[in-house]
Each structure stands twice: as C-alpha cells, then as structure tokens.
Amino acid sequence: MTAAGFPIVRAPAASATDVRIDPALVRRWLVTFLREEMIVRRGMRTAVVGVSGGVDSALVAFLCAEALGPANVYGVRMPYRTSAEESFRHAGLVQEITKIHDVVVDITAAVDGYLRYEPDASPTRRGNVMARQRMIVLFDLSAKYGGLPVGTGNKSERLLGYFTWHADDSPPINPLGDLFKTQVWQLARHVGVPREIVEKPATADLIRGQTDEEDLGITYERADRILSLMLRGYGQAAIAACGFRRRDVRLVWDRVNATHWKRHLPTTAVVSPTAINEFYLRPVDY
C-alpha cells in the first residue's frame, strides 16, 4: 500500500486513456440514430431543441438539422434576466447557420413568479428552477409543434451528476449521452460549430460568472480520461498509476458514486411481481 492508501498495481496501457473519436463516423451514426428514433420508431419528424449558446446544444442543433431538415427543427432560446448576453447571441448564431426555426421564450417572469415566494433561495436552487422551467417550455412547445424535445447532455455531465434532475436529462432522445465532453468538442469542430462557441469556457449559465470546470474542481480533459478508465473497470489505484493526481481520481470517483441515483428513474417500492421496470420488461428492455 502507498502512503495515500492506494495499493501498487500495474497501470493500464497508455492507449486506455485515449478518448479520441472518428468524428466523421460518429456524425453519420448520430444522424442515422436521430432519423431512426424520431421517424421510424416514434413517427415524429419535428425536433425541439433548447439552444443555450453552448457547444452541446449547438452540436445537437447541427445534427438535428442534418437528420431531419432545418424546417423540422425548432431551436428555442430561453434567456433569464441574468443570462449572459453572449450566450443569447451565440444561440442565435447557431440558428442562423443551421437555418432552423428561431423561437425566443424569456423565462424571467415564470421563474421570478415562483421565486418571489422564496426570496432566500440559494443560487443553486434558483439555477434548478431555471433549468426545470426551460424543460417545461420545451415539452409544451413540443406538444404545440407536434414533435419531441431532444436532449443535449453529454456523458461527462451525466456521469459526474452535473445536471438538474428532471430538467437537463428529461428529453426522451439524447444523441450526445454517450459522448464525453472532449468528444463533443471534437465532433462540434468537425460539423462546423463556430469556433467561438467551441473554444469558450463551458458554463451552465445559471449563475453569473459560473463555469463547469470551476464547479467540478477538475478540467474536462482530465476528468474524461479518468472516467474512461473507470468505465473500463480499472480501480482507483490503477488509474492513479497512469499519472493522474490521486486527488483528481478520488474527486471523480466520489462524484460518480454520489450521483448514481440521478441516472435512473425514480426508485419504486416493489410490492408485486409486476413492478414496472423491475419485473415488467419488454424484450427490447433487456
């Protein structure tokens, strides 16, 4: 055992930390995925995407426009009064380039209508209210336009629990859910998302001046490589032996374990042999 409590083990091969993708191949697959899930499986040809001005939603807008045609995609900008002007402008740039529908819904009145009863709400609570209000808008507009909301959450956010439950994770279709953040950046560059969007610091834009990496305490570049090793079954000691700081390994490890519940549907108390998603499963669910 080392002084920090990590047993000494053989490190994985250097290639095990490589999270590069073939962007052309992934692009073709995700466009096919969107067409099959939307049109073939669900009979839907219209997508509704919350376009925030960030790289994730920008990439989804580009992919949906390619898969379904710009006329069948509604990009929704949902600013709050404290949202960054740059985010609003970048979202508009995405809509202009992709030629999807531009819909603007200012959520300030809706959010403040509730928060005036909770004036002492913390910044985190306020951010969660904003995120959930935006999802209300997307689902309602999906009913209006006869389509489906398409999610924009990436694999890094999902594994680290860096999202609002029943908000960012709610859409029934998510083309980016199996892509690490660094892979999103690779694919976004490939499809032509503007450089100023790809290269700016990632932010949820729920709190003024907020950035993802400051909130998480680690860069996505390091976190993604650690997550990749975790998912391949390597333990903390083996990951640390690859040259990662033990503090970073523990941070990522603990966040994944602490937020496991957020990646599942609500836990149901089983009182019968026909509990949904426990015993009642269709063959496709296995």
For residue 201, count other CB atoms closer than 10 A to its CB. Answer: 10
Six-digit token string for 281:
């499963």
Higher-scoring residue by pLDDT: 209, 211: 211
Question: What does the pLDDT look like over 131-161, one tens digit per residue?
Answer: 999 999 999 999 999 999 999 999 999 999 9
Question: What does the pLDDT look like over 32-60, one tens digit per residue?
Answer: 999 999 999 999 999 999 999 999 999 99
Q: Residue 5 has what pLDDT?
A: 46
Determine contact, residues 17/225, Cβ cutoff 8 Å.
yes
Determine contact, residues 280/274, Cβ cutoff 8 Å.
yes
Give dist(CA 88, CA 79) in Å, integer. Answer: 7
Domain that holds residue 155: 16-210
Asked if residue 278 is part of any domain, the answer here is no
Residue 181 clears pLDDT 70, i.e. is over it? yes
CATH of the domain at 201: 3.40.50.620
- With the C-alpha atoms ordered 123, 124, 128, 134, is the resulting torsion angle positive or negative? positive
Distances (CA, A) of 209 to 79, 135, 180, 206, 213: 15, 23, 23, 9, 12
Question: What does the pLDDT look like over 98-121, one tens digit per residue?
Answer: 999 999 999 999 999 999 999 999
Which pLDDT band, with edges at 50, 70 and 90, does 211 fall under?
A: confident
Judged by DSSP in three states, 48 sits in: strand
Asked if residue 256 is part of any domain, the answer here is no
Which pLDDT band, with edges at 50, 70 and 90, does 7 fall under?
A: very low
Which pLDDT band, with edges at 50, 70 and 90, does 284 fall under?
A: low
Which pLDDT band, with edges at 50, 70 and 90, does 275 fall under?
A: confident
Residue 79 sits at the vertex; the CA angle it makes with 81 and 139, to the nearest 5 degrees, is 135
Strands 47-50 and 148-149: parallel
Q: Residue 10 has what pLDDT?
A: 60
Residue 122 sits at the vertex; the CA angle it makes with 118 and 126, to the nearest 5 degrees, is 70
Global confidence as pTM? 0.90
Asked if residue 258 is part of any domain, the answer here is no
Q: Residue 52 has what pLDDT?
A: 96
Give dist(CA 92, CA 86) in Å, integer. Answer: 10
For residue 34, count other CB atoms closer than 10 A to its CB. Answer: 20
DSSP 226: H
Asked if residue 47 is part of any domain, the answer here is yes
Six-digit token string for 164:
């609002």
Residue 6 clears pLDDT 70, i.e. is over it? no
Residue 29 clears pLDDT 90, i.e. is over it? yes
Give dist(CA 202, CA 204) in Å, integer. Answer: 7
Asked if residue 261 is part of any domain, the answer here is no
124 φ/ψ angles, rounded to the nearest 5 degrees: -65, -45
Asked if residue 95 is part of any domain, the answer here is yes
Residue 2 clears pLDDT 50, i.e. is over it? no
Do you know the residue count of the chain?
A: 286
* Amino acid letter for position 82: T
Asked if residue 280 is part of any domain, the answer here is no
Residue 253 clears pLDDT 60, i.e. is over it? yes
Strand partners, 173: 150
In the chain, the number of structural domains is: 1
Six-digit token string for 84:
């960054």
Which pLDDT band, with edges at 50, 70 and 90, does 285 fall under?
A: low
Give dist(CA 180, CA 154) in Å, integer. Answer: 6
109-125 b/e (C-beta count within 10 Å ≥ 16 → b): ebbeeeeeeeeeeeeee
Q: Residue 215 has what pLDDT?
A: 87
Higher-scoring residue by pLDDT: 281, 79: 79
Asked if residue 85 is part of any domain, the answer here is yes
